[in-house]
């Protein structure tokens, strides 16, 4: 019993001798800047003091941020996989993904910048195809 109590006292002394370690600070939560411009629902664009353009997206897990690169090759390759067809006053978009075909429809007046580019690209393709068929 004496041995056990001696060991407890020694362990207590060792624990008490260690200074408390400072806990690392958690990173500050990311927030959408007040003067950011809303591009689409939940997506915001912001230019910082250095001239860099950032995109912010509100997600269920918080806000995510990435650099807006107009010449982003991955964005270009994704937009090449999307097709647009006329649906009267709307445009129907289709994209094949690993999980199957994704489709969505938007009014022509509500298209964002990327969707407008895709729509114009596909209009030019269909016009060229019609011209080739007539010849």
- Report how far residue 95's alpha carbon sits from residue 39's, in angstroms, rounded to the nearest whole number: 21
Span 71-124, pLDDT tens digits: 455 555 666 788 888 888 899 999 888 888 889 899 988 888 888 888 888 888
Whether residues 75 and 133 share a domain: the answer is yes
Q: What is the pLDDT of residue 20?
A: 67
On whether both 63 and 77 belong to a single domain, the answer is: no
Residues 132, 114 contacting (CB under 8 angstroms) = no
Residues 118 and 79 in one domain: yes
* Residue 83: predicted pLDDT: 85
Q: Distance between CA atoms of 110 and 42, rounded to whole angstroms? A: 15
Lowest mean pLDDT among 31-35, 62-66, 70-74: 70-74
Same domain, 42 and 82: no
Q: What is the count of structural domains for the chain?
A: 2
Name the residue range of residue 41's domain: 29-68
- Coil, strand, or helix at residue 17? helix
Is the domain of 77 the same as that of 133?
A: yes
**Domain-embedded: residue 89:** yes
**Mean pLDDT for the chain overall:** 79
């Amino acid at each position: 019993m004496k041995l056990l109590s001696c060991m407890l006292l020694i362990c207590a002394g060792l624990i008490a001798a260690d200074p408390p370690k400072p806990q690392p600070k958690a990173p500050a939560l990311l927030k959408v800047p007040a003067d950011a411009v809303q591009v689409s629902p939940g997506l915001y664009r912001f230019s910082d003091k250095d001239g860099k353009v950032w995109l912010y997206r509100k997600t269920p897990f918080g806000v995510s941020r990435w650099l807006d690169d107009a010449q982003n090759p991955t964005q270009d390759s994704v937009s090449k996989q999307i097709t647009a067809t006329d649906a009267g006053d709307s445009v129907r978009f289709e994209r094949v993904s690993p999980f199957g075909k994704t489709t969505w429809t938007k009014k022509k007046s509500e298209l964002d910048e990327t969707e407008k580019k895709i729509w114009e690209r596909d209009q030019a393709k269909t016009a060229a195809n019609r011209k080739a068929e007539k010849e």
